[in-house]
Structure 1
């Protein structure tokens, strides 16, 4: 496993694959929709497989398994805590039984949640603290100022936003620069060959502004791991938990490319994201997991898999994904506004 800085506006070094811990713990579920996860033995085996491969980036959240995921991360890291980057999130609560004042993006919810997460994680600081989802009502100024206060207090080292629209992130970054607040260091969105929506606005924004990008559920909650007989791991969160005909076509292409390379579909799905990451001017990190430690070790062999131009043509053309407007218009009209011999910058213009 190699390492990268998580974007260009910070020096945080993370491994090129992150470990997602959404199903670490045995909480019975929330509102009947969250699947119970796995217990301590499974968590330990999964963590050891990840650490043996050189992984150092662990992503959790207050809402994962009713807070049990954070407690397990504390147990797993123990005395090695300083060698790992811990990312956790707030906004949705730990149990979904919290009152309105403790939910959403508000400063009050933030300050309450961060102390609870610090206690469950058994640490006095969080490396990366990001919002789990935007509530569409809390001003971005309040969010960024709150994260800045946590950074200044030493409770958080870096702040980030999860599942926010690109325009809100970009505006927040501009306000942070204007007021001298801690910047938006990272964003996280679902991203993989089966869910490429982030390519429209979020990834170009992150690349232009130097923000790290955490790609959660790069395998579509298990959608890209096999033939479709497997139970989705997080069907209510990922769009491919309700696959369309186009989604099924993408999975068929993944299976076909895997057979060509003697690889697994999961390895191909991860290799596709890793290739995108290696060509990006900012830090793109797939955040993933697996039902068993052996399966996780197998998936991590994607680091050794090289896809060729034929593979990318097959994978990228399998579904019905299009960038849409204004991208399509600008691509068609490029000849009128850009000289053919113009050398383009490696980093997109913001």
Structure 2
């Protein structure tokens, strides 16, 4: 596996990130400790070093499993990313949210579960629309200065807030967000309206969650294997089915799995992107690891774009006229190719 720099930092992470939301058997599903260990061992043997978890995944069990696994290995090899924000207990009204009190409490609890002295990347998990952004930034910067966190990142937050935050951090000399985690796939392309251009502008690495749309893009839902998904989900509608059929057609042409096509598409969108691949079975990880050498042709990308394209809304569509942007300077028009 190759390594990439995470955002505007010198941190080297593997080109795929292992999602560990399913480590633990709470809620009646997931991988037990033995299976989770086997998955991480295989990921590490393939050169993977980037692990994604959160304080609430499997009620903290995901972090505990990672902590136990890493404690008997080289801690410095692994880049552990975790998150804070969502409620992980009911002991007090500040056991959730982006506020400093919850941030500090959550980090201390995560450090205990992970059995480590530091977290490599700490994500704000989701915007609470309550906490001032300067409170968040100062808290994260304090954790970094204390050595409890190495880098800050952000997830599931409006683009204008992230933009404001990184600008303020730059002005104040605080640590900036180096990665952006959002749902992004051929079935969920709305981040292209604001979030992806913003991330690219600030040099942030995109870490897409659900790049396979919960398995929809593997074709399993077309085969009737809908599992726990709700019938009204947009992953089961006609649009998703049409997109998935195009993915399968290209996969058949290239003699690869549909998941390979869907994952690689997220890595060829003109922005630094490290998709998060979840696994609760070793076979799932082994299948996904085989995609790292795949490169989609311009024709394949065109077909996928045509099948899944969205309306960018205003001002995105205003800037795009028949595939070009028209810039009017000095009374004449220059046609500039849109990428």
> Quick one: structure 1 residues 98 and 316, their matched pair in 2 at CA, closer, same or farther if it must change by over 3 Å?
farther
Alignment equivalent of 2:51, drawn from 58, 67, 76: 58
CA distance, structure 2, for counterparts of residue 192 and residue 341 of structure 1: 29
1:107 is the counterpart of 2:100: yes
Task: Report the counterpart of residue 40 of structure 2 in structure 1.
Answer: 47
Task: Report the counterpart of residue 6 of structure 1 in structure 2.
Answer: 6
1:1-350 matches, within 5 Å, as: 1-7=1-7, 9-28=8-27, 36-78=29-71, 79-95=73-89, 97-228=90-221, 229-231=224-226, 235=229, 242-276=235-269, 279-280=270-271, 283-319=272-308, 321-332=310-321, 334-337=325-328, 340=334
Judge conservation of contact 1:163–1:188 (CA < 8 Å) in 2. Answer: yes
> Quick one: structure 1 residues 320 and 309, their matched pair in 2 at CA, closer, same or farther if it must change by over 3 Å?
closer
The offset of 1:134, in angstroms, is 0.7
Judge conservation of contact 2:23–2:62 (CA < 8 Å) in 1. Answer: yes
Q: Which runs of 5+ in 1 are unaligned?
A: 29-34
Post-superposition Cα deviations, 1:208-233, rounded to whole Å, max 9, x if no partner, equal: 11122211111111111223133457
CA distance, structure 1, for counterparts of residue 280 and residue 144 of structure 2: 35
How many residue pairs are counted as aligned between the two chains?
A: 330
Q: TM-score normalised to the size of structure 2?
A: 0.91
CA distance, structure 2, for counterparts of residue 314 and residue 257 of structure 1: 9
Post-superposition Cα deviations, 1:289-323, rounded to whole Å, max 9, x if no partner, equal: 23421221111111122222221122111135222
The offset of 1:201, in angstroms, is 0.9
The offset of 1:335, in angstroms, is 2.2
CA distance, structure 2, for counterparts of residue 290 and residue 315 of structure 1: 25
CA RMSD of aligned residues (A): 2.1
Judge conservation of contact 1:87–1:130 (CA < 8 Å) in 2. Answer: yes
SS in 1 for 2:134: helix
Q: Relative to structure 2, which stretch is displaced further, 221-230 or 43-52? A: 221-230
CA distance, structure 2, for counterparts of residue 342 and residue 330 of structure 1: 11
Q: Relative to structure 2, which stretch is displaced further, 68-77 or 266-275? A: 266-275
CA distance, structure 1, for counterparts of residue 236 and residue 61 of structure 2: 30
The offset of 1:85, in angstroms, is 0.5
SS in 2 for 1:94: coil
CA distance, structure 2, for counterparts of residue 243 and residue 81 of structure 1: 41
SS in 1 for 2:326: helix
Post-superposition Cα deviations, 1:274-296, rounded to whole Å, max 9, x if no partner, equal: 223xx42xx32101123421221
Judge conservation of contact 2:327–2:335 (CA < 8 Å) in 1. Answer: no
> Quick one: structure 1 residues 137 and 232, their matched pair in 2 at CA, closer, same or farther if it must change by over 3 Å?
farther
Judge conservation of contact 2:120–2:150 (CA < 8 Å) in 1. Answer: yes
SS in 2 for 1:58: strand
> Quick one: structure 1 residues 341 and 242, their matched pair in 2 at CA, closer, same or farther if it must change by over 3 Å?
closer
SS in 2 for 1:127: strand
